[in-house]
Chains A and B, each alone.
Chain A
Amino acid sequence: MQQRRPTRQSQTSPQVWEQRLEISLRKALAHPWTVRALGFALTATCRLQNQIVALQALPSEKGTPLQNQKDRRRT
Chain B
Amino acid sequence: MATSTLQLAERWAWLKSWTPAGAQQKWWPELGATPSRLVFQNGLVEMHRYVTTNRKARKSKVFLIPSLINRHYVLDLAPGKSLVDYLLKQGHSVDIIRWRAPEAADQQTRMEDVLENSLRPALVASTEHCGGPVSVFGQCLGGTFATMLAVRWPELCRNLILVTAPVDFASRGSEDNLLMRWTQSPQLDLDLILRTYGNMPWPLLQSAFHLLTPTASIAKLRTLKTKGRDLNFLRHFLALETWSGDNVPYPGECFRFLIQNLYRENQFVTGQIELAGQRIALADLKTPVLSVASSEDHIVAMSSTLQKHHLNAPQTLTQIQVQGGHVNALLGSRSQSQIWPQFSRWISPTTSGTHIPAQKVQT
A and B associate in one complex: yes
Q: Are B187 and A36 in contact (CB under 8 A)?
A: yes
* B74-101 interface code vs A (CB 8 A; 1 in, 0 out): 0000000000000000000000000000
A26 interface contact, C-beta 8 A: yes
Q: Which of A1-9, A45-53, A58-66 forms part of the interface with chain B?
A: A45-53
Q: Is the CB of B215 within 8 A of A43?
A: no
Name B's interface SS: helix
Number of residues of chain B lying within 8 A (CB) of chain A: 24
Digitize B167-195: 1 where CB-to-A-CB distance is under 8 Å, 0 elsewhere. Answer: 00000000010100110011111001101
> Does the CB pair B214–A29 fall under 8 Å?
yes
In the complex, the answer to whether B187 meets A43 with C-beta atoms within 8 Å is yes
Which residues from A are CB-within-8-Å of B218? 18
A35 touching B185 by the CB < 8 A rule? yes
A49: chain B residues within 8 A (beta carbon): 196-197
Q: Of all chain A residues, which has the CB nearest B208?
A: A38
Please judge, given known A-B contacts A39-B188, A43-B189, A43-B192, whether A22 and B214 are in contact too, CB under 8 Å. yes
Tell me which of A26, A35, A40 contacts B214 (CB under 8 A): A26
List the B residue with the shortest CB-CB distance to A19.
Answer: B215
Q: Measured between C-beta atoms, what is the minimum distance from B193 to chain A in Å? A: 6
For A40, the chain B residues whose CB sits under 8 A away are: 187
* Contact in complex: B214, A46 (CB < 8 Å): no
| Chain A residues in 8 Å Cβ range of B181 | 30, 35
Find out whether the CB atom of B193 lies under 8 angstroms from the CB atom of A35: no
| Distance in Å: Cβ of A52 to nearest Cβ of chain B | 10
Which residues of B sit under 8 angstroms from A50, Cβ to Cβ? 195-196
Contacts of B187 in A (CB 8 A): 35-36, 38-40, 42-43
Quick one: given A40-B187, A46-B189, A47-B192, are A25 and B182 in contact (CB under 8 Å)? no
By a CB distance below 8 angstroms, the chain A residues around B231 are: none
- B252 → chain A closest CB, angstroms: 13
CB distance from A40 to the nearest CB of B (A): 6
> Which A residues touch B197, using CB under 8 A?
46, 49
Residues of B within 8 A of A46 (CB): 189, 192-193, 195-197
Contact B185–A36 (Cβ < 8 Å): yes
CA of A38 to CA of B181, assembled, Å: 11
Find out whether the CB atom of B182 lies under 8 angstroms from the CB atom of A35. yes
Interface residues of A in 15-30 (CB under 8 A from B): 15, 18, 21-22, 25-27, 29-30
Q: Which residues of A contact B219 (CB under 8 A)?
A: 18
Q: Is B352's CB within 8 Å of the partner chain A? A: no
Binding site for A on B (CB under 8 A): 2, 176, 178, 181-182, 185-189, 192-193, 195-197, 204, 211-215, 218-219, 222
Q: Which 3 A-B pairs have the closest CB atoms?
A: A39-B187, A46-B196, A25-B214
Known: A26-B214, A29-B211. 18 other contacts (CB 8 A): A14-B222, A15-B222, A25-B215, A29-B178, A30-B176, A30-B181, A35-B187, A38-B182, A38-B185, A39-B186, A42-B187, A42-B188, A42-B204, A43-B192, A46-B192, A46-B193, A47-B192, A49-B196
